[in-house]
Amino acid sequence: MELSNRIKKVKPSATLVITAKANELRKKGVDVIGFGAGEPDFDTPDYVKEGAIRALKEGKTKYTPSAGIPELREGVAKKLKERNNIEYSPSEVVITPGAKMGLYEIFAILLNPGDEVIVPAPYWVSYTEQIKLCDGEYQTPMLSEENGFVLTADLLKESITDKTKAVVINSPSNPTGAVIPKSELEKIAQVCLEKGVMIISDECYEEFAYDEPHVSIASLDKDVRDITFTVGAFSKSYSMTGWRLGWVAAPEKYTKAIATMQGQTVSNPTSFAQYGALEALKDGGKFPKMMREEFKKRRDYIVEELNSIEGIKCNKPQGAFYVFPNISSYIKGDIKNDVDFASYLLEEAKVAVVPGSAFGAEGFIRMSYATSMDNIKEGLRRIKEALAKLR
C-alpha cells in the first residue's frame, strides 16, 4: 500500500542521521569524535532519578490526566512566574512528551491547510517538517550572518503575508546559538500585535544564555503574553532528553485544545517521569547553572580555535551549545557543498558535524560543544590537520 502524501513529504531528522552514522563507525571500532549531539553530556541529576524511582515504587504507574499531573502544571506555572516573569495559571500550562511534541501540537491546533508560519533560517530541523505534517506552509527568510543570525522586526515585517498565522522564534537558537536582545523582542512583539500574528516561542535553551539573562517574549506585557505560546522543556535544562518532558504555556483556549489532542494520541506524558521532573523544579536552577558555567568555557575555547583556522569564520554565539561556522571557502573541487564538507571531516578526520543545509543554510556546519573539553581539543586538532590537506 502507498504511504500517505503527508509522510512522503517529510525528511528524516538530519541530526539524528549524523549521530547514527557516527555510532555505526564507532561500533566498527573507529574512534569518532562527535560534534553532532543535541543533548548535554551530563547525567540527569540523582535527585530527579530518585523522584521517578520513588513514584515507581509507590505505584504511580497509571494514566495521568492528559495535560499532565496537576502538581507539575502548578510547578511549571510557578517557575514561569518566578524565573521568567510571566503570569500563567496552572490551567494555562500543558505538560507534553518533550518540547518537540508540544511544538507539533501547536501547529496541529493552529493551522488549516494553506496557513503559513514564518520560520527564520537557519532553523531547527523539525519546525518545517512538523508544519508539513499539519498541512501548513512555511516561509524561511534568511537571517543575516553579519547580524549574528539574530531575527529583526524588520525582516519579520517584510516576510508577513495575508496567509501568515504565526512566527517561530527560537532564542537561544539551535543551530546558531543566537540570542535575540530584549530591545528587538519588543519590536518583534509589536509587529506581531499589529499584524495579528501568533508567536511560537521555543525556549528550550533558556538556561544557556551566557552574556545576558534570558528574556521570554511573553514577559513583555499581557497583550504579548496573550498571543504567545511559550514552549520549554526539562530535556536540555536538566539533561533529561530521554525522559520526554516539556511544556506549552498559553491562554487556556490553546492548552485545552492541546490536552484534547494528547487525550486522543499519547493519552498523557509518562507518569513516573513527571514525578522526577517535579524534583528538577525544586532545585531552583542550580543544576542548569553548573552546566551553563561549563558550556561557557567550552564556547569561548571553540570559537577562538575555529577562528584561528584559515578560511573558517565563526560568530561568537550568546547561547545554546552550538557554534555555526561559515566554511564556504572550502567549497571547491571535490567538495561541492557543506554535505561533502561534513563527509570529508567524518572520513578524513573521524569527526562528526552536521551540514548547515540541514538547517536551511548552505555553506555552514553546526558543531555542538556538549562534549568534553578533551574531545573538543582533540576534535579541533583533527579538523585543523584535515583542512590543512585541502589547502
Q: Give me the residues that bind ligand PLP (CB under 6 A), please.
A: 38, 98-100, 124, 170, 174, 202, 204, 233, 235, 241, 246
Task: Locate all alpha helices (DSSP H) within the chain, ordered by sequence.
Answer: 5-8, 14-27, 46-57, 70-82, 99-110, 125-133, 153-159, 182-195, 222-225, 252-264, 271-282, 286-307, 338-344, 373-390
Q: Measured from the CB of residue 134, what is the shortest distance to ligand PLP in angstroms?
A: 16
Which residues are 232's β-sheet partners? Answer: 247
Q: Measured from the CB of residue 324, what is the shortest distance to ligand PLP in angstroms?
A: 13
Query: Quick one: 107 or 124, whose CB is closer to ligand PLP?
Result: 124
Q: Measured from the CB of residue 203, what is the shortest distance to ligand PLP in angstroms?
A: 9
Query: Quick one: 204 or 351, whose CB is closer to ligand PLP?
Result: 204
- Quote the radius of gyration of the chain (alpha carbons, Å): 21
Q: Measured from the CB of residue 81, what is the shortest distance to ligand PLP in angstroms?
A: 21
Cα gap 238→331, rounded to integer Å: 38
Query: Quick one: 350 or 366, whose CB is closer to ligand PLP?
Result: 366
All three cell numbers of 289, joined, read: 547553572
All three cell numbers of 230, joined, read: 511559550
Does residue 329 sit in helix, strand or coil?
helix
Size (the chain), residues: 391
Q: Which of 211, 117, 134, 223 is nearest to 170 (CA)?
A: 117
Q: Measured from the CB of residue 357, what is the shortest distance to ligand PLP in angstroms?
A: 17
Q: Measured from the CB of residue 361, what is the shortest distance to ligand PLP in angstroms?
A: 15
Cα gap 98→80, rounded to integer Å: 17
Q: What is the DSSP string of 88-103?
A: --GGGEEEESSHHHHH
CA angle 129–133–139, rounded 5-degree value: 50
All three cell numbers of 356, joined, read: 548547515
Query: Quick one: 202 or 294, whose CB is closer to ligand PLP?
Result: 202
Q: Measured from the CB of residue 335, what is the shortest distance to ligand PLP in angstroms?
A: 27
Q: Measured from the CB of residue 263, what is the shortest distance to ligand PLP in angstroms?
A: 19
Burial-class residue 30 by CB neighbours within 10 Å (0-12, 13-18, 19+): exposed
- DSSP annotation of 28 reads T
- State the greatest distance between any 2 C-alpha atoms of the chain, in Å, as a whole number: 63
Residue of minimal CB distance from ligand PLP?
Answer: 98
Please list, residue by residue across 151-170, b when 16 or more beta carbons sit within 10 angstroms of its beta carbon and e when fewer do.
bbbebbbebbeeebbbbbbb
Query: Quick one: 73 or 100, whose CB is closer to ligand PLP?
Result: 100
Q: Measured from the CB of residue 211, what is the shortest distance to ligand PLP in angstroms?
A: 19
| Cis peptide bond N-terminal to 122, omega within 30 | yes
Query: Quick one: 184 or 202, whose CB is closer to ligand PLP?
Result: 202
Query: Quick one: 84 or 170, whose CB is closer to ligand PLP?
Result: 170
Query: Quick one: 13 or 190, whose CB is closer to ligand PLP?
Result: 13
Query: Quick one: 233 or 278, whose CB is closer to ligand PLP?
Result: 233
